Amino acid sequence: MNHPSSSGSGDGEKSKDSVEVDATTRASNLLVYGSGKGNQQQGSFPKEDISAIILRCSSGSDYFRQQVVKDEKSNERIEEMKMKFEKEGGSSRLGSAAKTGIDLLVDKYRRSRPRESNKVVIDMDSFYYSCALARHKEEGTQPSHQGVHLNQMPVVVGGGMILTSNYEARKYGVRSAMAGFIADKLVAELSKGKVKLLHLKSDHKYYAEKSAQVRSILEEYDPNLKQYSLDEFYIDLTAHLAKSGDGSGDVQEVVSKMRARVLEECFLSCSAGIAPSSVLAKICSDLNKPDGQYHLPPGDDSIMDFMRQLDCRKVPGVGRVSQKFLAAFGIENCAELYARRYDIFKIFKEKTAGFLLRASVGGWGGEDEDSAASFGAGEDQGQKGISIERTFNPVWKREDVSSQLERVCERLGQNMARKGLRGRRITAKVKLASYVVFSRSKTGRVHMNEKEEIFKVADELVERVRKEVEARDDLEFKIRLLGVRVDEFEVKGGGGGGSIEKFFKKVEEEGGGGVGRGEEVRGGEEDDDEEEEDDEVEDDEEVMLSLSQSQQDSEHVDDWKFAKALQVRYDEEQKQFERMKEREREREQEDTSKSRKELGGGKGKLTDEELARRLQKEEELWDRGRKRKDKTAKGGEVKKQKTIFDMMNGKGKGK
């Protein structure tokens, strides 16, 4: 959107209006609806027109003001990272041994990919809306409004907060997690008043029934499938293909039949992604929506070609804020991510850099990685926590807050019981109507998963937030979102798998630049960009690395640690070399000054000819010394390169 520029004062300073316009323009880029991950529908209205309406409707709201504040913080962090990157000389300061270590790490990620393409992600198409259509078919009625079929008009599920929109509504820029009044404005203004957005009521009980019906069909293909929301399923067809005698070449046919059964028996369409790993399959499931499928063959060439064309925003775990940080360094897609792999090592912390390096080559693979735990919702050994959040119209009365909190705790307790999880630490998240977020935690002596136990602790934490807010003049205790998280699970059997998290935690405690999701706020206000409502609303605002690192990463810790150690060693050697040169320059100046005095009769004066001879002699001495140092440094570099190959191949680790 083009904003009119305000004229500045005579001394060149920006006017107040100009500053506000600049802030508004930047913050508009962080609006939930402005930069979704989904593909733009054919026949959609221009993004510029959609963004202009959203910006106009949002400006001046509490949410928008909070976005401006967060945008300023993001800009400050980006500037700090850039200054640090430039001050340290970027990746040019990395020694060849450290670069070799990074290349070997990336190479391991590439080799870790499974050799078959049997992982499938089934993603239901506009699930809540499709359920409304399915109900009409089950009841034998026409899914129409005033004689017009629902598919031919813009329709959403939800009122104040949009749960989902049909594909016709998405042409107008209407998305999940959007405020209902903004969705109405988009349709009305872009259609010039000719079309009105239709709102359908939600029915979560019916959605759960239809989800279970879909699952029962898919379990025939994989009894151990993973499901982390009502509308998304993670399937491994390896056993099914082996049992049925089908070859891997028939995987597309199997998935096609699977989807056809879901449509025929459940009256619901779905899309699918087929790939060597579930993360890649997740990405692929979004490419041929609706009612389509995309197959990514195994093999390094096909995967590398696929990833090169992929925008970073399409990678699970890279949210809009993450995208902004990458774009600030000129990185828009995975091809640029791979080309700048050495810079990534210097820009971000190890945990974030490792994730981005893996993403640049699509190097996901392994049991733990292939579960959805890799992008924020896992179970099994890799899961570190489980949480539920709920958005609603602002409430402030004690009984209303408790009622919403009970609903969250009840659902969380049910999920924990189903997964056999019991945790000690409870975290309550409170988002005010002003979009300021608080997070408070408490660790108990016993593990729990009962609704009553969780609610008792969570309620205490929410009340603590209430007292803090009421003690302030700048905030009002009106809540629009409540979330509860449980972690520090009860360990059954052997441990294992914690080494990488302990290592990365230690690295983060030691400091370093970058941005990481692991910076959880306990006991203060928390920057938060999430807009969630039950299952279908995307967690579209994740800061870098919402993903938990997979168990498989533990085998790369030594490699990564060694690469970091090489860089530290290289930096120290560079500092020593600089200090040595500085001392020699000081001695040279002292000698020159002394020579001037001696040759000048103690008065410090030299003729031009005498000074030229003296300087030439000093320069020759310096050149001979530098050549000797370069020769020594070159020998040491060769030795370090040999050492890293030994270390990467398991020779000499732990020494």
Across 262-279, average pLDDT: 96
Q: Are 258 and 217 spatial neighbours (Cβ–Cβ below 8 Å)?
A: yes
- Name the CATH superfamily for 384-490+517-543: DNA polymerase, Y-family, little finger domain (3.30.1490.100)
CA distance 543 to 319: 6
Catalytic site residue 501?
Answer: no
pLDDT band for position 91 (cuts 50, 70, 90): confident
How far is 315 from 324, CA to CA, in rounded Å?
A: 14
Determine the average pLDDT of the residues in 502-518: 34
The predicted structure's pLDDT at residue 314: 92
pLDDT higher than 50, residue 254 = yes
Of the listed ranges 162-171, 269-278, 570-579, the one predicted with least confidence:
570-579
Q: Tokens 């019991």 map to which residue?
A: 422
Q: Tokens 């029915």 — which residue?
A: 203
Beta strands 270-275 and 119-124 are: antiparallel
Answer for the pair 539, 530: CB distance below 8 angstroms, yes or no: yes
| Amino acid identity, position 270 | C
Pairing of strands 270-275, 437-448: unpaired
Question: At residue 320, what are phi and psi to the nearest 5 degrees?
Answer: -70, -35
Q: How far is Cα 36 from Cα 282, in angstroms, rounded to an integer?
A: 16
Listed in sequence order, the residues at least 6 apart from 331 whose beta carbon sits closer than 8 Å to its beta carbon are 312, 337, 340
Query: Which residue, 563, 96, 512, 517, is CA-closest to 316?
Result: 517
What gap in Å lies between CA 133 and CA 126, rounded to an integer? Answer: 11
Residue 43's pLDDT band (boundaries 50, 70, 90)? Answer: low
Task: Give the helix/strand (H/E) hosting 447.
Answer: strand 437-448
Give the pLDDT confidence of 156-208 residue by residue, as tens digits. Answer: 998 888 889 999 999 999 988 888 889 999 999 999 999 999 999 999 899 99
- DSSP code string of 25-45: HHHHTT-TTTT-SSPPPTTPP
The continuous run of DSSP H or E covering 577 comes out as helix 557-599
Of residues 489 and 249, more confidently modeled = 489
Q: What is the pLDDT of residue 99?
A: 85
Locate the domains of the chain by residue range: 16-70, 384-490+517-543, 564-648
In the structure, what pLDDT confidence band is assigned to residue 229 with cuts at 50, 70 and 90? confident
Six token digits for residue 228: 């982390």
The runs of H, that is alpha helices, within 287-349 are: 300-308, 320-328, 334-339, 341-347
Q: What is the pLDDT of residues 436-484, one digit of tens each?
A: 889 999 998 889 888 899 999 999 999 999 999 999 888 889 999 999 9
Q: List the structure tokens of 376.
A: 């924020």
Greatest mean pLDDT range, 90-99, 242-251, 300-309, 418-427:
300-309
Residue 270 has pLDDT above 60, yes or no: yes
pLDDT band at 633 (very low <50, low <70, confident <90, very high): low
First-to-last alpha carbon distance for the chain, in angstroms, is: 59
pLDDT tier for residue 306 given thresholds of 50, 70 and 90: very high
Q: Which of 346, 381, 337 is nearest to 549 (CA)?
A: 381
625: pLDDT confidence band, cut at 50, 70 and 90? Answer: low
Band (pLDDT 50/70/90 cuts) for residue 505 is very low
**How many alpha carbons fall within 13 Å on the CB side of residue 90?**
8
Would you call 22 exposed, middle or buried from its count of C-beta atoms within 10 A (0-12, 13-18, 19+)?
A: middle
pLDDT tens per residue, range 101-135: 888 888 888 988 888 889 999 999 999 999 999 99
* In the predicted structure, residue 214 carries a pLDDT above the cut 90: yes
Task: Output the 3-class SS for 129-191.
Answer: HHHHHHHHHHHCCCCEECCEEHHHCCEEECCCECCEECHHHHCCCCCCCCEHHHHHHHHHHHC
Residue 91 CA to residue 114 CA, distance in Å, equals 31
- Please return the burial class of 246, using the count of CB atoms within 10 Å of its CB with bins 0-12, 13-18 and 19+: middle
Cα(124)–Cα(536) distance, integer angstroms: 10
Name the 3-class secondary structure at 309. Answer: coil
Kindly name the residue from 20, 86, 232, 463 that is annotated as catalytic.
Answer: 232
Highest mean pLDDT among 8-17, 475-484, 487-496, 629-638: 475-484
What local confidence, expressed as pLDDT, does residue 630 receive? 58
Q: Which residue has the higher pLDDT, 203 or 648?
A: 203
Contacts of 241 (CB under 8 A, 6+ apart): 118, 247, 248, 250, 251, 254
- Average per-residue pLDDT for the chain: 75
